[in-house]
Amino acid sequence: MRRIIPARGRGTALVAAGLLAAAGVSAPSVAAAVPDGASAVTSAAAQRQHQFAAAAAEYRVPVAVLLAVAYQQSAWEAHQGRYSADGGYGPMHLTDVTPAMLAGGDTGAAGRADLAKTAAAPALHTLGKAARLTGLPARALRTDPAANIRGGAALLASYQKESAGELSPDPGAWYEAVARFSGSTERRAAAAYADRVYTTLRKGVSRTTDDGQRVTLRAVPDPRPAGSRSAVRKSVTVQDTTAECPVTVSCTFVAASPSNGQVSDRPANGIRIDSIVIHDTESSYESAINIFQTPGGGAAHYVMRSSDGAVTQMVPTKDLAFHAGNYSTNMHSIGIEHEGYAAHGGTWYTEAQYEATAELVKYLAARFGIPLDRQHILGHDNVAGPSTKLVSGMHWDPGPAWDWEHFMRLLGAPVTGRHGVGPVGSVVTITPGFDRNQQTVQVCPSDDPTGATTECTERPGPANFVYLRTAPQADAPLFGDQALHPGAAGTDRINDWGSTAQAGQQYVVAGQEGDWTAIWFSGSKVWFHNPDGCNTTRAEGVTVVRASGDAPVPVYGSSYPDASEYPSGLGASTQAPLAQYTVPAGQAYVATQPPAVTDDYFPSSGRVVLGGKKMYTVQYNHRVALVYAGDVTETTAADPERAG
């Protein structure tokens, strides 16, 4: 799930502008003054329009070009001095990315010694260059929309001077400068960004921003970009990549911003690829592609379109993509984004999208030896938080309406066996079905970036989870995850992943009482309604781990080597146990993967560092977590007395 602030309203506005143009109706001139007698409210609402016109005149940038670039960057939003999801400020999305931003977010690089170096990339600091060009303080460019627009105009003009030597009044002459504004150093990605800007120029667009500013770009009938893609040659790297997809899907390659991942050589360099993470975009398909090309944020390896299952690959599989919010997970996984909104139920997850994703996942699993099961095909909501303070903010997509059981059947890997539950110490797989598993969730406006949800509403519908309670009765409180609700009950809020167990996940049975089954979950004994085992399938031959002594076992969110295991000259990444969680003595948890050696990666040199210890990945709660192999003992669920 991407927190794509600039995407709000963009698709709708473009469509509307396109329809107006098709009907022969043109938008008003960009430079049009407020009519005589206009109210003060109307004048105030046109303030940003005039700020664009003034900045364009000051730096001799065609105002239509400046407006079109800003529209692609932010949809003309100011964000009230806050930075967007990918470290950009203001209408021109001027970047000023800090190590703290990269520690969280999609990078999930908490504890890494190279954070400052990663954050120092020039593409992540266009705000600083704009401040130098304008002579304005950086603080003003962060907080004042007018200053920010002036900074963007100055930056765009500087690119034009460097590429063409002159500031032309012809919008078509600015193609290469626009491509450079994308921040991408890859030719195809920079050209794709410029193409979108020129499409906006041709169609025109008008919208009202979240802070009430009415901004209009009049359609430019024929901007005639000089040389088009061939013009992008002087300032970006010539790099064309062939899409890695099965022949059964429609697939193209558009490179993400290099800052939104790291070049690597997986798995040839020793970095294993052992999992695939399913996301949703929380935006349109086009907006997701756009934001992944914007420096400073995240990117997935693939983006899947809802309507027809078309695929855009954005990061080669050999490279790391910043998609999961956890650097260790990013090292070892491939991320697949799906056009859709989790708060809208399953309406965006079309059969075409499911089937195309299944074909892609089967192709990737065969290439990299990834088992086709829910222990290796994860949702973003199943990924561990990398540090104590980041656990509560981890994303919850693709949400309760992604039909995991249907998807696993498409992969040819359904859960087999009859519904039921074994004795204490045995293992069950959560299999509640989907259409028949009707659950109610509360959806609030902050859960729905489309703006369609105007107040918190209880919504029943098919779901991929069962609710977990503190006692075997329907009126018992929902279990409250320690990171989300310390000392308090859980909720039925759609984003509250802490009180749910999801289809395909496996847990050790901790008790049975009437129609209720208990499992070990997040260090506690929790209960879910399971009459006659209708929501579970018994699993056998599953690896289970438990504390090897009487002390609780620390739980981790990352898997870095010890500091002493790093070669001299390489900064050591650090990790600490997740303070909220432990595996208490007497409890047991399913190991989702064999124990793997701790490791780390240094993209500047291509060096992979392997530690001397191994860690298990376990199904700890709704998310996976890690424990050191030396702290636990391994048993098999087929032997209930030993496993329990």
> Is the model's pLDDT at 3 over the cut of 60?
no
Structure confidence at residue 133 (pLDDT): 97
Structure confidence at residue 106 (pLDDT): 84
Give dist(CA 554, CA 248) in Å, integer: 45
Give dist(CA 3, CA 282) in Å, integer: 7
Mean per-residue pLDDT over the chain, rounded: 88
Task: Say which residue, 113 or 364, is predicted with more confidence.
Answer: 364
Structure confidence at residue 10 (pLDDT): 31
> Is the model's pLDDT at 2 over the cut of 80?
no
Q: Is 438 helix (H, G, I), strand (E, B) or coil?
A: strand
Structure confidence at residue 34 (pLDDT): 36
524 φ, ψ (degrees, to nearest 5)? -135, 170
Structure confidence at residue 394 (pLDDT): 96
> Is the model's pLDDT at 224 over the cut of 80?
no
How would residue 84 be classed by pLDDT, with cut points 50, 70 and 90? low
> Is the model's pLDDT at 198 over the cut of 80?
yes
For the chain, give the percent of residues with pLDDT over 70.
89
Structure confidence at residue 620 (pLDDT): 98
Task: List, for residues 9-26, the tens digit of each pLDDT value.
Answer: 333 333 233 322 322 223
Task: List, for residues 591-616, the tens digit of each pLDDT value.
Answer: 999 999 999 999 989 999 999 999 99
- Using only C-alpha atoms, the chain has a radius of gyration, in whole angstroms, of 26
Residue 36's alpha-carbon distances to 26, 43, 194, in angstroms, are 21, 10, 37
Query: Tokens in use for 213?
Result: 């500013």
Could you tell me what percentage of the chain is helix, strand and coil, using 3-state DSSP and rounding each to the nearest 5?
30, 20, 45
How would residue 1 be classed by pLDDT, with cut points 50, 70 and 90? low
How would residue 558 be classed by pLDDT, with cut points 50, 70 and 90? very high
> Is the model's pLDDT at 274 over the cut of 60?
yes
For residues 167-198, b (16+ Cβ closer than 10 Å) or e, as one string? bbeebbbbbbbbbbbbbbbbbbbbbbbbbbbb
How would residue 282 be classed by pLDDT, with cut points 50, 70 and 90? very high
> Is the model's pLDDT at 510 over the cut of 50?
yes
Q: Is 368 helix (H, G, I), strand (E, B) or coil?
A: helix
Q: What is the mean pLDDT of residues 409-422?
A: 96
For the chain, give the percent of residues with pLDDT over 90.
71
Structure confidence at residue 82 (pLDDT): 60
